[in-house]
Structure 1
């Protein structure tokens, strides 16, 4: 699912770096990691948040870049194919959600998450918007992630909860 939250300007590279420094400090990242860890307690889904200040020159499409990040961060590498990537391209003002094949959630539901997050980011409510998005994703994963009875091992947290800054 893709959704932009503002028209991209010629200053997008500088703006992306500024947004990253302003809204993604150590305290915010720790809070988001804790929120992600807590959200994964009630289901087998695995959420990873990736924030990229400036998309690389080789990729101009945020969805394609999110797919690349999904692979590079090995979000697909969970026993139940239950990984979900929430990707923000700050310079492009894009939001992408990529869900692995084990997740049964309709595209329209992911789009609602993107829409609410887009509104929050547009109002410069980065932390509260992301916490809300994590909670929304948690609810969707409770309904659409593989059941716990399908898990073959006791450790269910296969991906890091810490947001990744790219």
Structure 2
């Protein structure tokens, strides 16, 4: 717990503007928009610098927070329950993927875990923008395979990345 407190108090607040400047966020937005032309899924990318002191003391875990963000951003609010949240917490360098039930019914949980683990490795070992764009490519490929776009592919969620 002490390590998590230190990381969240001192480790994440400065990373967000350095790792995700406006130009990077535009490229992420464009990658989401381009990918969604090929499949019926709706992608959302959210990045959070750190958790509050009280959240860490209360035991907030990245998976739990990602599920909260999934709800908060209404990623679940799509016609075919086809939302996917890619969540990155910078202080602890933790990543989570949350897929709505329409997609979860078609894509094996192991596929999501593999993508998430690869993204975590890429974030830890390389540049954040490259890691996010590579992860979005993998998600888009998976959704194109299992959830291809229909003739009337509605745009249900904004493509803009979200900073929490």
TM range (shorter): 0.7 to 0.9
Quote the offset at 1:18 in angstroms: 1.4
Question: What is the rounded CA distance, in whole Å, between the counterparts of 1:23 and 1:9 in structure 2?
Answer: 22
Q: How many equivalent residue pairs?
A: 156
Question: Residue 137 of structure 2 aligns with which residue?
Answer: 135
Question: What is the rounded CA distance, in whole Å, between the counterparts of 1:138 and 1:63 in structure 2?
Answer: 21
Q: Does 1:161 align with 2:159?
A: yes
Query: Which portions of structure 1, spanning 4 or more consecutive aligned residues, are displaced by more than 3 angstroms?
Result: 56-59
Q: Which has the higher helix share?
A: 2
Given candidates 22, 32, 35, the residue that maps to 1:36 is 32
Per-residue CA distance 1:56-90 (angstroms, 9 max, x = gap): 43361111111110001000000010000001111
Report if aligned partners of 1:87, 1:96 keep a CA contact under 8 Å in 2.
yes
Report if aligned partners of 2:93, 2:124 keep a CA contact under 8 Å in 1.
no
| CA gap 1:15/1:25 in 2 versus in 1, 3 angstroms | same
Question: Residue 17 of structure 1 aligns with which residue?
Answer: 13
Report if aligned partners of 2:8, 2:51 keep a CA contact under 8 Å in 1.
no
**Structure 1: runs of 5 or more not aligned:** 1-6
Aligned-residue Cα RMSD (Å) equals 1.9
Per-residue CA distance 1:19-52 (angstroms, 9 max, x = gap): 1121011010001000110011111000000001
